[in-house]
Amino acid sequence: MKQLSSFVFLFLISILSQAQSDRLGYPRISAGTRQFLWQMDKGKADSHGALPSYVYQLDAQNQLYVNAFIQVFPNFKEESLKSLGIKTGTVAGNIRTVRIPVGKVKEALLIPGLRAIDMDQPMAMDLDSARRRTRVDSIHKGLGLSRAYNGDSVVIGIIDAGFDYSHPAFYDTSYSNYRVKRVWEQKVAGTPPANFPYGAEYSDSASIHTKAFDITETTHGTHVGGIAGGSGYNGPTGNHNKFRGMAYKSDLVFIAMYPTPAYWLNTGMADMLDGINYTFQYGNSVGKPAVANLSWGCPLGPRDGTSLFSQACDNITGPGKIFVVSGGNNGQNKIHVKKSFTATDTLLNTFTTFSTSLNPKINQIDVWGDSGKTFQVQFTLYTTSAKIATSEWVTLDNATHSIALKGSNFDTLFVTATGTAIEFNGKPHMLLQFYSRVGDRVGITVKSTSGTVNLWQGVVVKTSGYYGNFTKYTYAWATDGDVNSTCGDLVSTKSALAVAAYNSKVSFTNILGSSLAYTGYVRGRIAAFSSIGPTADGRVKPNIAGPGMALASSVSSYAHDYMPDSADYNSVVANFVSPKNNRTYAFAMAGGTSMSAPAVSGIVAMLLQVNPQLSPASLMDLLNQTAIKDNNTGAIPAGGSNVWGGGKINAYRAIKTLLEPTGIQHIESSAQVLVFPNPGNGSMFAEYLSEGQDDVRIIISDAVGRVVANDIWTVSEGSNLRNLGMDKFENGMYYIRITGRAGTSVVKVLKN
């Protein structure tokens, strides 16, 4: 019997599936999956059988697999996957990550009990005063605490690429004990870890050191790992603490997922979910809480917490299992546009541009609507003064359409459009891929009579994200793009602690003795690139802001990025020749939410040291309640803001709140003040975080409002400490009012 084409096959399956999925058990097939099958059917795969917009795995037998998420019904049988050679990774409730042989995708759609299938989406990287500005330095010193905290007895998983496994930062502070406990290289052949059917695991220091590194194309993972848990060893100070990470005594797990350039074009969300799960499974095996850090993002997805990644992630996180993700670097990119339709206002007109860094000109646009609604899309080419070509309307007919429009240069704009009436999350969705060989303006029109649509754009090429903008040009009838809801799909996950970036350091002196500054960045303010919420369903994201512009951390000695002949050598701030192997290791500056996320992950590790059962929800509440709110953040609503989340993370106040749940009662809090111990039976101290030199007034009143002390305290930039002299007063309730240029803080304390 002749094999059915993908078009006919999907048409037949869609008749059964889209309206009857939940009732009869036929699968919902995502737009990405439909487009994958259409492109394969058209012979668009490369010589390896791969398409550039999807994620692959090659095993030791040269069998090529494509990554996907599946959702299953209760009657699903695991054996049905094995019969097709499909490999299962993470099992998260009714969602699984799978690797499907590229020639078996159509057969996979017929597996009994399959509820939904979604091809994996490719991912892109989100790229020494930080400890002080987050007050981690006070935690490391044990200031006012029963002990110092440093991440000991907690696991930090870094899911990334560009690891130098031998960097001194990954030893302890004496450079004798190695702290990397596991390495899983997902994209190479070898002995995989238990419960995962692919990659190579290295579980002892000898094999990790022999492997030495994953790739030489980037140093991203080494820098991120050093921020979260680097020891700082080989830094320029005698105690090695200048470039020390947050949780510098934590156990480290590295999940390396960068694709081998010869075979894999991208890494994806299924890889990420498996890395998160691997971190949690290792932590569980050694009886330790774990935090998994991901400093990557994805331009596509519904961004409302309903993607299969988000649902699966919510299923595997929980008490002692925390997922931290970078908030994204699209705060300056107009990659979003939104429209609510009515019976008399039925059209959204906008234009898309293409990244100037990509040749050829390619882009993707994701269009998501409301459940129970529908929409149509049309494409038009314009010169500055005239319309020159228009497509037919494309509907949500569960098919893929190939559109070609001839431009004024007699060349072509190609559009591939795949629309599904009901996606895996019950919403209508259209995935658009553009390849432009014209110089004309590319117009997009969305038509509906009700509901709301959100459009996002961006494309990933070899783990780097490229973005155009939505624009109206000079047309009054068109809609301009905006920077709202630019946090990615992973960020919208309900259990994910999403991290914005603020400017913690804007100048530094490099290894050559040159003083350098980041032009246009003001210390203390939100970083201009930091992505903005809300999610598509209206929730506040990001959750908290961490230092992200810029941080000094370890870099890979195997990557060329920071070598003396590289363009980034100006960012190197220290070098060290190791007596162990005579190899030169470096620290360098970098910025991005890629950096703010691991700073927060290290702080979370110290909080898990205090309470190993801290859950994602309670952690978010804790960080929101204790965050720094100052003149730069402005007033932040109780539920957080879509720029700052709860504000700037305050590690010291958070850990004090965990340790002394009945203390620290801020009645008014614009200036950044901490009073401890509270309650106390002797001396009490005030810590004040200042942006610069200031004369601060301290007024202490008793329970009836009588002033018992009134003084001026001259403070300098950073953390300032003062004994309040409470031992002179009788036991009872007091109010400490501290006022400076940053505002006023009033703290109720109990002396007993």
At 6, the amino acid letter reads S
β strands within 578-731, DSSP E: 584-590, 665-669, 672-676, 685-690, 694-702, 707-715, 718-723
Categorise residue 479: left if φ over 0, alpha if ψ from -120 to 50, beta otherwise.
beta
The contacts of residue 74 (CB under 8 Å, 6+ apart) are 94, 113
Query: Which region, left, alpha or beta, applies to residue 9 given φ > 0 means left and ψ of -120 to 50 means alpha?
Result: alpha
CA atoms within 13 A on the CB side of 603: 37
294-304 residue pLDDT tens: 998 888 899 99
User: Are 256 and 579 in contact, with CB atoms under 8 Å apart?
Assistant: no
Residue 32: Cβ-neighbour burial (10 angstroms; 0-12, 13-18, 19+): buried
CA distance 434 to 413: 7
β-pairing, 464-466 vs 347-352, is unpaired
Radius of gyration of the chain (CA): 27
Asked whether 375 and 367 are in contact (CB, 8 A), the reply is yes
3 state SS of 82: helix
Q: At what angle do helices 31-41 and 6-24 cross, to 10 degrees?
A: 160
Helix (H, G, I), strand (E, B) or coil at 320: coil
Cβ neighbors of 1 (< 8 A, separation 6 or more) are: none
Q: Helix, strand or coil for residue 40?
A: helix
What are the residues whose beta carbons fall under 8 Å from the beta carbon of 43, sequence distance 6 or more? none
Domain ranges of the chain: 6-120, 150-330+490-622, 336-471, 665-751
At 592, list the tokens: 């991005």
Distance CA 64, CA 58 (A): 5
What's residue 260's pLDDT?
56
CA–CA gap between residue 155 and residue 174 (Å, rounded): 20
User: Would the CA dihedral through 500, 502, 507, 511 be positive or negative?
Assistant: negative
Q: Detail the DSSP E strand segments found in 467-543.
A: 470-471, 496-502, 507-509, 515-517
Q: In 3-state terms, what secondary structure has residue 18? A: helix
Q: pTM here? A: 0.84
Residue identified by tokens 């895996």 is: 424
* Torsion angles phi and psi, residue 223, rounded to 5: -70, -45
- Classify residue 610 by its DSSP letter: H
Q: Is 185 exposed, middle or buried (0-12, 13-18, 19+ CB in 10 A)?
A: buried
* Best CATH choice for the domain 150-330+490-622 from the list 3.40.1190.20, 3.40.50.200, 3.40.50.10880, 3.90.1150.10: 3.40.50.200
- CATH fold, domain 665-751, is Immunoglobulin-like (2.60.40)
By the 8 A CB rule, do 280 and 321 touch?
yes
**What residue ranges of the chain have pLDDT lower than 70?**
1-25, 125-146, 234-241, 259-267, 660-671
Q: How far apart are CA 63 and CA 85, in angstroms?
A: 10
Q: CA-to-CA distance for 79 and 86, rounded, in angstroms? A: 10
Q: Closest Cα to residue 593, out of 635, 645, 671, 637?
A: 645
**Helix (H) or strand (E) run with residue 736 in it:** strand 732-740
- CATH number at 6-120: 3.30.70.80
CATH class assigned to 336-471: mainly beta
C-beta of residue 503 within 8 angstroms of C-beta of residue 527: yes
Q: How many CB atoms lie within 10 A of CB 345?
A: 11
